[in-house]
Amino acid sequence: MSVYFGELVRSLREDLAPKLPTAFEQGAALRLAMLSQAASEEFDRAAARRFEENEAMRRLFESASSFVKSPDLLIRLQNVGSVREESIHVSELERVNQMMRVLLIELHAHVELLVGDDARDLEREIWSELSASTERRAVSIGRF
């Protein structure tokens, strides 16, 4: 797919944009080229990003299970943490990812109310994963 996206980006930049009559139309074609480049990048990493995030959340859920105070939350952490994707399709990875993210938010809120070094350590781990998750989503073309 990256070959196709690459050709689309090249064609928009080199073939189409220079032939358009106004700066506005040329800019629109160049914006489409940048969006296509971002789509190519996301297509390439879509499954890997979700797989990495799902595994990271499973590790967080496992770490938390030793000191979570809410029995209901503990059961859900164990249940959701043991859920495995039925395929490597992005839609399936995303389904599990979203389910885990909802639980991660609840876990984070719970941990913030706990006292002790273990809770602070887990809170730092959660923030670290949230930061890493943001980095995984960054596109190399920057803001436009």
Total domains in the chain come to 1
Task: Give pLDDT, residue 143.
Answer: 57
What gap in Å lies between CA 59 and CA 56, rounded to an integer? 5
CB atoms inside a 10 Å sphere around CB 106: 15
Q: Determine the Cα–Cα distance for residues 66 and 74; give it in Å rounded to an integer.
A: 9
- Asked whether residue 142 is domain-assigned, the answer is no
Residue 54 counted as domain residue: yes
Residues with Cβ < 8 Å from 37, sequence gap 6 or more?
5, 9, 141
pLDDT of residue 139: 80
Distances (CA, A) of 82 to 57, 109, 112, 144: 11, 21, 24, 40
Per-residue pLDDT in tens (0 to 9) along the chain, 144 residues = 778 888 888 899 999 999 999 999 999 999 999 888 888 888 888 999 999 999 999 999 999 988 888 999 999 999 988 889 899 999 999 999 999 999 999 999 999 999 999 999 999 999 999 999 999 988 887 554
Structural domain of 96: 2-137
pLDDT at 20: 94
Question: Which pLDDT value is given to residue 39?
Answer: 86
What is the reported pLDDT for 81? 83
Six-digit token string for 132: 């890493």
Q: Are 63 and 57 in contact (CB under 8 A)?
A: no
Task: Write b or e for each residue in 113-126: b if 16 or more Cβ atoms lie within 10 A of its Cβ, otherwise e.
Answer: eeeeeebeebeebb
Give a yes or no: residue 143 inside a domain. Answer: no
